[in-house]
A and B are shown apart, each in its own frame.
Chain A
Amino acid sequence: MSTEESSAVDDVGIAAGVSVERPWALLVLAGFWGWLGSRWINDFLLPDSIAVSSERSFVPVDPVAAAAETLGSVAAALGPVGAPVDVVASLVGFVAGSLPHLPPLARGAWLTLLLTVAGIGFGFVLAVPLSVGRVYGGRWLRWLSLSYTELIRGTPLLAQLFVLYFGLPLTQVIRELPGVGAGPLPAQAFWVAVVGFTLNSAAYQAEYIRSALESVDAGQLTAARAVGLSRAEGIRYVVLPQGLRYAIPGWSNELIYLIKYSSLAAFITVRELFFRAEAIANDTFRYTELFVLAALFYLALVLSASVVMGWVEERSSVPGVGGRQ
């Protein structure tokens, strides 16, 4: 959620590095999603009779813990030469300690994914009219969309979530909707967070799209008008298809920020990834382990987003418009 050019360059760089130079990173990501997907299917869809308990790890913990212990004693026996073995032993020990926490973290990651996708998707639907209004609107429309983006970008996201959750009657309204919090549908706090991230992300996306629209040559709309298209049609069929392609790199950045900022939903009690990690850490006092684990989840999500957005950018580019030339 930053408009700084430097970070735009960095995050796009990540995508290029992962997909082209490090095919093994793609393999790791494929493994991560394979596991995460199986976990969600197991926990949310399979009947209890055939599913692994939603609290139990797929990989049994005890043998891994035993292996860590054996490696540890081998390292001790080797003395000073055993240092590398000791490193491996502590890594295996970390895995053994993490295994029991993976199932709840996977369920948290499901909400993180939903929040991010909903925020970016609904935010986009709002951002397009906001940015078009900003660039092509009359005085009032320009003023309105400028005020909106400045208000949202000028105040902390956490404060916006608190206002929505505690300050407005929104929480009550959503609680009364049929189905909310029952069965697979998340509880009302989640929906408040979706509204918050949508409103917030719309403002940031509108800024990216606005500057992309402004970079489309004015002659394009003139030519559209000269053919007989109305102004609105010219914007719809000529300016937007080009502007949106130019906006993709900035848009990818916004997605990456949103993945990380979605952790703020924990503060309004949404049981997403960060909420789960913190809750387990509070119970077990293993703060470092749990936050390292959560960080690895976020890293995998961010890298995946980079790969997907790099692909979208390539697929949507045409010669001369968009893509990395």
Chain B
Amino acid sequence: MTLLRIDDVYQSYEAEQVLQGVSFDMQQGDVDVLMGPSGSGKSTMLRCINRLTEVDSGDIWLGDTHVTAPETDVNELRQDVGMVFQDFNLFAHLTALENITLGLKRVKGVHAEQARERARGHLDQVGLGDQTDAYPAELSGGQKQRVGIARALAMEPKLMLFDEPTSALDPELVGDVVAVMQDLAAGGMTMLVVSHEMGFARSAADDIHFLDNGQIVESGPPEQLFEQPEQDRTAGFLSGLQADGPQ
């Protein structure tokens, strides 16, 4: 079953044309990775899917929901689309547990005690059951990002978006976050991940989309894209990545 359909999406900021006719589909349970040079429009693509940014033209469908239709309730839509940010964006004044219960209580209307119960479960799931009362400032980058993932999971989304979830982390903390993402992938979560983490892409990705200048240059499973890319631009970008290591 097709869960996400992106059809000929164009987007621009004031003068700058960012997305220039992006199309791809994801099946339920797929894990797709979006790669591309900085400024190519990867974050913008993700933000269009939960309407943090509006498209100029083209359509996005999430299951039966016409995401890009003006009458679609964005607050409803966003419960179905979890988002994980490069710099975490944990609510700074709330503990790890409260970061998760806020949405449960205010968006889903879950009762306070039940919300705490569920939040504890999600923190356990990302290996942070012992950090429920820690404030973001007291957590390491890797722990913050795992709270960020738990916060998104708690809304029980159909699709999870990750925007460079490990690129703000010290190298030795990347592994914990990648492990949580691999667990999620193995558990059947549909995930669209912007990342240059080759290990994750190789082990978990169904398809890799290479985005450059707002267009998808090439798509395919990791073996094909990494070993025999059809386009020179893809090959050039990937060899740069492998030479520099993950960024």
Chain A contact residues, CB within 8 Å of chain B: 217, 219-220, 222-230, 233, 237-238, 241-242, 245, 318-321
| CB < 8 Å neighbour of A228 from B87, B90, B155 | B155
The distance in angstroms between the C-alpha atoms of A237 and B82, with both chains bound, is 19
Name the A residues within 8 Å of B85 (CB-CB).
Answer: 219, 222-223, 226
Inter-chain contact A227/B87, CB cutoff 8 Å = no
Name the A residues within 8 Å of B186 (CB-CB).
Answer: none
27 pairs, CB–CB < 8 Å, chain A vs chain B: A219-B85, A220-B91, A222-B85, A223-B83, A223-B89, A223-B90, A225-B78, A226-B152, A227-B78, A227-B102, A227-B103, A228-B75, A228-B155, A229-B75, A230-B75, A233-B106, A237-B106, A238-B93, A241-B93, A242-B92, A242-B93, A318-B135, A319-B135, A319-B138, A320-B92, A320-B137, A321-B135
Inter-chain contact A321/B93, CB cutoff 8 Å = yes
Would you give the shortest CB distance from A263 to chain B, in whole angstroms? 37
Name the B residues within 8 Å of A320 (CB-CB).
Answer: 92, 135-138
Within B146-193, the residues touching A (CB, 8 Å) are 151-152, 155
Inter-chain contact A237/B102, CB cutoff 8 Å = yes
The distance in angstroms between the C-alpha atoms of A75 and B91, with both chains bound, is 68
For B27-65 the 0/1 string (1 means CB < 8 A from A) is 000000000000000000000001010000000000000
Inter-chain contact A225/B79, CB cutoff 8 Å = no
Name the B residues within 8 Å of A228 (CB-CB).
Answer: 75-76, 78-79, 103, 107, 155
- Choose among B81, B85, B89, B137 the residue with the greatest number of A CB atoms under 10 Å from its CB: B89
Within B111-141, the residues touching A (CB, 8 Å) are 135-138
The distance in angstroms between the C-alpha atoms of A320 and B75, with both chains bound, is 29
Name the A residues within 8 Å of B136 (CB-CB).
Answer: 320
| CB < 8 Å neighbour of B92 from A220, A225, A226 | A220
Inter-chain contact A227/B151, CB cutoff 8 Å = yes
The distance in angstroms between the C-alpha atoms of A230 and B103, with both chains bound, is 11
Name the B residues within 8 Å of A229 (CB-CB).
Answer: 75, 102-103, 106-107
The distance in angstroms between the C-alpha atoms of A262 and B57, with both chains bound, is 59
Would you give the shortest CB distance from A14 to chain B, in whole angstroms? 27
Name the A residues within 8 Å of B50 (CB-CB).
Answer: 226
The distance in angstroms between the C-alpha atoms of A67 and B137, with both chains bound, is 61
Inter-chain contact B91/A224, CB cutoff 8 Å = yes
Would you give the shortest CB distance from A238 to chain B, in whole angstroms? 5
| CB < 8 Å neighbour of B78 from A226, A241, A242 | A226
Name the B residues within 8 Å of A321 (CB-CB).
Answer: 92-93, 135, 137
The distance in angstroms between the C-alpha atoms of A226 and B51, with both chains bound, is 9
Name the A residues within 8 Å of B90 (CB-CB).
Answer: 223
Inter-chain contact B93/A318, CB cutoff 8 Å = yes
